[in-house]
Amino acid sequence: MEYANLRRQAASLKRSLFDQGYLDEQFCQVEDLQDEASPNFAEEVVSLFFKDSARLVANIEQAMEKYPGDFNRWDAHMQQLKGSCFSIGASKMSNECTSFRNSCAEENAEGCRRSFQKVKREHAILRQKLESYFQLLRQAGPARTATRSGGK
Amino acid sequence: MTTSTVQGSPVKALIVEDTPVHAFILSTILRKFHCEITVAENGNEAVQLFLEGKKFDIIFCDKEMPVMPGPEAIEKIRALGESHVKIVGVSAGYDLEQSFMSAGADIFLPKPMKFDVVGPIIQEVMNKKNNSMV
């Protein structure tokens, strides 16, 4: 059955996201909130995350350009992004946010720039992988229970 | 996650949170317990709600927010005489618990929040609210 195959592919992709450290347990907690009343809740949360995180990344980029050396400001913006990462279990991205904040604490501008590039890279990768995951789930359709084929 | 049968008026919950994703997730959890939800994006907005005479049964308050951080908002809310409202401080890092508790919070929950701890807290508030109405 195509449905079963797509579900298997989605499950495999999700497993790899955990195995490779892109996601942690918090993502499962988000998916567990899904129910009949909110069947697409996880996708809605992830969509909101990427909308908000894109804004936050742009804010950080702007802050680094307009306020060079203002590590407190840079840190404040990155803290918001890190908080957002926490909410969906985006652990790799969250770790890169921490690296950036550590560089801010050390007033290491070059370290901040390097970390920020990594944050953006992880953001793009995670976005692509989660889009693929939810696309597979959408193609598979809602979970179905097994039915006995009709007979005479 | 199980929800209990709702009796009496709904719990009025205030979420003080500048991260839209957190606010959305927590709102969804609280809706499962039939809470009436208001969201403030920073501590100052939360304090303003109380100054306008709004009442809440429970507040979930983040720490680091623009304009006014959580603990400062909690101090101001308590200073308005709002001793009855249950205040839950929510933030990443266990070392932040003290700043919330010193400000007047009742409970601290670390981020990422374990969703199954929210239910018993809401149930307790619901029970207290319903008992006070008897």
Searching chain B, which residue's CA lies closest to the CA of residue A81?
Answer: B19
SS3 A134: helix
> Mutating which of B18, B19, B68 best tests the A interface, going by the most A Cβ atoms within 10 A?
B19
B21 to chain A, any CB pair closer than 8 A? The answer is yes
Residue with tokens 């969703």, as numbered in its chain: B115
CB contact under 8 A, A52 and B20: yes
B19 to chain A, any CB pair closer than 8 A? The answer is yes
Quote ipTM for the complex: 0.83
A79 to chain B, any CB pair closer than 8 A? The answer is yes
CB contact under 8 A, B22 and A30: no
Q: Are B29 and B42 in contact (CB under 8 A)?
A: no
A130 to chain B, any CB pair closer than 8 A? The answer is no
A48 to chain B, any CB pair closer than 8 A? The answer is yes
- Per residue of chain B (134 residues), give pLDDT as tens: 445 445 568 999 999 999 999 999 999 999 999 999 999 999 999 999 999 999 999 999 998 888 999 999 999 999 999 999 999 999 876 568 899 999 999 999 988 777 889 999 999 999 888 887 65
Single-letter amino acid code for the residue at A35: D
SS (H, E, C) B41-63: CCHHHHHHHHHCCCCCCEEEEEC
Query: Across chain A, what does the average pLDDT equal?
Result: 91
DSSP string, chain B: ---PPP-SSPPEEEEE-S-HHHHHHHHHHHHHTT-EEEEESSHHHHHHHHHTT---SEEEEESS-SSS-HHHHHHHHHHTT--SSEEEEEEESGGGHHHHHHHT-SEEEEESPPGGGHHHHHHHHHHHHHHHH-
Facing residue for A45 by CB, picked from B25, B92, B111: B25
Residue with tokens 């009496």, as numbered in its chain: B8
Q: CB-based contacts of B24: which residues, under 8 Å, 6+ apart?
A: A44, A45, A48
Name the token pair of A82. Answer: 């890190």
For domain B12-132, the CATH superfamily is Response regulator (3.40.50.2300)
Per DSSP bridges, beta strands B86-92 and B107-111 are parallel
User: What's this model's pTM, rounded to 2 decimal places?
Assistant: 0.87
Phi, psi of A64 (to 5 degrees): -70, -30
Q: How many CB atoms lie within 10 A of CB A130?
A: 24
A45 to chain B, any CB pair closer than 8 A? The answer is yes
A31 vs B9 pLDDT, higher one: A31
